[in-house]
Amino acid sequence: MFNQQNIYQTSSRPTSAEASAYMNKVFGWMGGGLLITALTAHWTANNIGFIPGSWYLFLFIGQIFLVYRISRHAMNMSVNGATGMFLLYTALTGVSLSGLTMIYTTESIATTFLSTSALFGGMAIFGMTTKKDLTSMGSFLYMGLIGIIISSIINIFVGSNIMQMAISAIGVIIFTGLTAYDTQKILQMYQGGEIYSETGTKKAILGALVLFLDFINLFIFLLRFLGNRR
């Protein structure tokens, strides 16, 4: 996602204060996205209930299209265009996740959200502060991610609970690591002087999307692994 954006064209290094302000902007966008997702999921669960199975196909296609569009073309869009697509994606994510409120207990969802926040926050801080280059770790984690996707597709037909638990446990490990890796990459893609520019804002939105995806996937895998069903 990062390498597709032509975001390494300048070499001006930001100050630590400016880099912190930029990351606050990234986390602000991500937090706003999570709030929209939570509100949308709550509204959908209380006003629509379970989403018909056929709707999920359209939701899935819409979400994939928006992620592809933002990740490939964010730097060529207007700020309003990138913002609108990001917010629409977070809203669609809320609709698609609304069924979790009917499958798992409210206490379980709340506890898992807090656990996800703590784990995500710790790894994000590590990614921002470590002096170690996490590039090699990222390559390994993305290989594991591909393995999870393949295993999940297979388990749709197999229907093994043990396999599902194993996939969930491995998914937690992978997205925990990806949080640190992606945070470091997002920090590295910022160039000095961009904090209040359109380029800096679009980079912040792109970074927020990446971390949003890490958080949501980490939350889902933790919920599947530890959550209490109704």
CA–CA separation, 157 vs 179, rounded Å? 30
pLDDT of residue 14: 61
Q: How many structural domains does the chain have? A: 1
Tell me the residue range of the domain where 145 lies. 3-226
Write out pLDDT tens, residues 44-95. Answer: 988 887 777 777 788 888 999 999 999 888 888 899 999 999 999 999 999 9
Strand partners, 104: 229
Write out pLDDT tens, residues 168-212. Answer: 889 999 999 999 999 999 988 877 667 778 888 899 999 999 999
Q: What are phi and psi of 51, to 5 degrees?
A: -80, 130
